[in-house]
Structure 1
Amino acid sequence: MANVSTLRFGAQTDEVTSLLRIVNMVRLGDAVTRPEIGRVTGLGRGVVAQRVDRAVEMGFLEDAEYAPSSGGRAPRTLRFRTERGRIVVCALGGLHIHVGVTDLDGAILAEAHRAWDIARGPEETLATATAMVDELLAAGDGTPVWALVVGLPGPVDFETGRPVAPPIMPGWNGYDVRTAFEQRYDAPVWVDNDVNLLAAGERARRRDESIDLIYCKVGTGIGAGLVSHGRLHRGANGAAGDMGHVRVPGAEQVCRCGKTGCLEAVAGGWALVRDARAAIDGGATGALADAVAAGTELTPEHVARAAERGDPLAISLVQAAARQVGEAVAALVNMFNPGVIVVGGAVASTGELFLAEIRQRVYELSLPLATRDLDIRTSESDSSAPVRGGVDLALEQLFEVSLPRWFAEGRPTVAAVHGASVRLLP
């Protein structure tokens, strides 16, 4: 774009500020006609027309159908052009890879899922994940990727996109995940803990800008995503919510992180599998024992399904895990005072069997004021939840955090989003 001036980030003209606001209002549906935009912003009719024309010229907005008439000439609605870009989400779990492609409104266009062991290392894992993404994009219409979000099952420094000493990810410490994806797809990338993606998805589901929420995932490992007044709370270095490595008093099990007595080593999915095998070796009978005898390699999902079907061993393991998780959640409730707790993950998929124990411990151990309006529930059964959460995170970063940096480019670029300058409109 010719005649574009470059200023340090933070400097914006009134024209740019109002233009950004108008694009976002239309995108979110807060104001979708020119008269509505004028009423909300206080801008005059001529200024609104000029700003809208500029947004249309740049390709962000376009005229759509006519709105209902209120007595005079029916106004033309505007729509945000969600088809201009694609968002890619790559959710890596301890034992799976889940990728999805959406439009700029978060509508899922394609997704794929496969079993995978994250311990196979970053090079092999990312090669597999990008091959899955490439296949989805190749089946599309060639629309450019505007953003990617990568979820990892371990602590992540959100500012750099690098995992930090992840207990179940050998070889991943300090690996530059963000740059690997940016170089391949030439689009800005955000890397976060996988539970934060799930928490973002729950935030989007409720559409409550001031919500205080905890998403507690009990799968192979244990973690929590925190939403404070509608914003993901990552802490100073991205470690907020890592409850899986809180010490359980009296516990002596060795955790995968190398420490002793972590919650994950007592109540995580891999711990339940370990304890189930030990009980079966000691003579326990039932559905789980029969599965092992038939050569089945137990997983947390096997334990959860067996508990749902009434297997006594599985039920006892799941309930004991829920009590320990409930004590840790109670501590979070006293400190964080959320309005909603959502419990998800493979172990928590047993539903009320797991949730009842958590509720009991939370209400027993938390302050009455902290639980007065507390809603504790299991997550909805949605296999696309990581993709939906990743898209919500991407839209937040693109249109609420970094929009002034890349708007003049017409689409987000790596240099504009992660750089230190902002280009203003001519």
Structure 2
Amino acid sequence: MRVVEDVQVQALTPDYVDSLATVLDLVRTGAARTRPELGRRSGLGRTVVTQRVNQLTECGLLEEGALGPSSGGRAPRELRFRAGAGVILAAELGATSIGVGVTDLAGTVLAEREELADIALGPEPVLDRVEQLFDELLAEVRATGGDAEATVWGVGIGLPGPVEFATGRPSAPPIMPGWDGYPVRDRLTARFSAPVWVDNEVNTMALGELRAGSAKGQSDILYVKIGTGIGAGLVSGGRLHRGSQGCAGDIGHAAVADEENVVCRCGNTGCLEAYAGGAALARDGLAAAREGRSEFLAGVLAETGTVTAGDVSRAAQSGDRTSVELLTRAGRLIGSLLATLVSFYNPALVIIGGGVAAAGDLLLAAVRESVYRRSLPLATRELRIARSALSDRAGLVGAAFMVIDEVFAPERLAHWVDRGSPAGDPDLVDVPLRTPLL
């Protein structure tokens, strides 16, 4: 698409790029739908707004819609973001499952698939399957959407372990043998010829809730995943906080006990995850079944040969005293640690997600009781503690929004807007941001 030469020169200046990104963001987020609204919300002059809208329309990012409401004069024409101009590939890899999807540029899921998978099998077989699912879902979207292209603008991946965000490589992940230092980004970049971002799955879950879930419109939140492991994602000032190396929020390996006979998967003792995670509940439930302390779990063991965290949750909901005690103890341990974080960080909202958290109200009630009892009164005066609105979809949606946020950052937008798409530009991830999206 043609872009006027002097516009290309101007586009190199930070002020021009910022105004272009501001106009695009206001339209694509729905904050402004007409040129007059853009002027009021952005503070930009009418001529500048018109120029930026024209460029974004010429590049295929915006389009004219129906007439908007009139304020006394001629009715303005509404503007729409072309969310269907491309697609995002997103995947959330958990300890025992993978969720894969294709979204449009507004984060709407167009097709998805979830299936059991063992992250401990290693990167090659797991990512082989992820790539296969991406191909199948892309074919499905292209067939049903009538768009033979459905160009891939970017790929977002959430992993169940620490990730060095700058390189997209896992860093000594406790439950991911063979993944340490594996070039996940490089592999997917070569496969799909698009920019790729990789993060810890709990960060993508937090981002999913922030952009499309129960935290929408909030500025300071704490997302806690209670599944096979335990982790937290922090949002401060409306932005995801990853920390300097990308491992902020790894609360599962914070010490909560001095006992040395309970060894965590990370190799240390006393970790929260070793006492209150899904694997810990399964371990303690199995011991209760073998020792005859739970008739319900003993029946499960006799029938299936094992006991899972889900079995403990079902037993507790059936009134099994031992299982109730296990879940209550786990909730109190998690709540005690969260109470410290709530007093330290002072979020407005704590979101509890993950497979174990979704199993029932007992654990959530124990978490709430500990947090409200042990945190500072001022920190809990307006604090809400709620279950995840997106449930097991949070990580998938968040992985897509991770890519969308990065692609539309002003500095990166300047690199591809004249082409109308970042597709085929994997090096976009290396473009430095003046204000990093932490």
TM-score, normalised to structure 1, is 0.92
AA partner of residue 13 (structure 2):
Q
Q: Distance in 2 between matches of 1:210 and 1:372?
A: 16
Q: Distance in 2 between matches of 1:261 and 1:308?
A: 28
Q: Distance in 2 between matches of 1:178 and 1:199?
A: 21
Structure 1: gaps spanning 5 or more residues: none
Mapped pair 1:360 → 2:369:
yes
Q: Distance in 2 between matches of 1:324 and 1:347?
A: 14
Deviation at 1:351, TM superposition (A): 3.4
Mapped pair 1:404 → 2:414:
yes
Structure 2: gaps spanning 5 or more residues: 143-148
Q: Percent identity?
A: 48
Matches within 5 A, 1:97-112: 97-112=98-113
Compared CA separation, residues 42 and 271, structure 1 to 2 (3 A): closer
AA partner of residue 386 (structure 2):
R
AA partner of residue 226 (structure 1):
L
AA partner of residue 238 (structure 2):
G
Mapped pair 1:228 → 2:269:
no
Deviation at 1:296, TM superposition (A): 4.5
- State the partner residue of 2:286: 277
Deviation at 1:65, TM superposition (A): 0.8
**Partner-residue secondary structure (3-state), 1:119:** helix
Compared CA separation, residues 421 and 42, structure 1 to 2 (3 A): closer
Compared CA separation, residues 85 and 301, structure 1 to 2 (3 A): same
Residue deviations 1:206-228 (CA, integer Å, cap 9, x gap): 56555211111111011111111
Q: Distance in 2 between matches of 1:52 and 1:294?
A: 65
Tell me which moved more, 124-133 or 367-376.
367-376
Compared CA separation, residues 115 and 30, structure 1 to 2 (3 A): same
Matches within 5 A, 1:21-420: 21-141=22-142, 142-204=149-211, 205-206=213-214, 211-252=219-260, 253-380=262-389, 382-400=391-409, 402-412=412-422, 413-419=425-431
**Is the Cα–Cα contact under 8 Å of residues 256 and 270 in structure 2 kept in the other structure?**
yes
Deviation at 1:139, TM superposition (A): 1.5
Residue deviations 1:241-282 (CA, integer Å, cap 9, x gap): 111111122333011111111111111111111111111111
| Runs of 4+ off more than 6 Å | 1-5
**Is the Cα–Cα contact under 8 Å of residues 197 and 390 in structure 1 kept in the other structure?**
yes
**Is the Cα–Cα contact under 8 Å of residues 406 and 417 in structure 1 kept in the other structure?**
no
The alignment yields a C-alpha RMSD, in angstroms, of 2.5
AA partner of residue 37 (structure 2):
E
Residue deviations 1:118-165 (CA, integer Å, cap 9, x gap): 000011110011111111011122311111110001111111111111
**Is the Cα–Cα contact under 8 Å of residues 353 and 391 in structure 2 kept in the other structure?**
no
Deviation at 1:44, TM superposition (A): 4.4
Deviation at 1:403, TM superposition (A): 2.5
Q: Distance in 2 between matches of 1:2 and 1:342?
A: 45
Deviation at 1:49, TM superposition (A): 2.9
Compared CA separation, residues 343 and 47, structure 1 to 2 (3 A): closer
Deviation at 1:38, TM superposition (A): 3.1
**Partner-residue secondary structure (3-state), 1:408:** coil
**Is the Cα–Cα contact under 8 Å of residues 254 and 261 in structure 1 kept in the other structure?**
yes
**Is the Cα–Cα contact under 8 Å of residues 200 and 389 in structure 1 kept in the other structure?**
yes
Compared CA separation, residues 421 and 368, structure 1 to 2 (3 A): closer
Q: Distance in 2 between matches of 1:203 and 1:2?
A: 35
**Partner-residue secondary structure (3-state), 2:319:** coil
Q: Distance in 1 between matches of 2:263 and 2:44?
A: 63
Compared CA separation, residues 13 and 278, structure 1 to 2 (3 A): closer
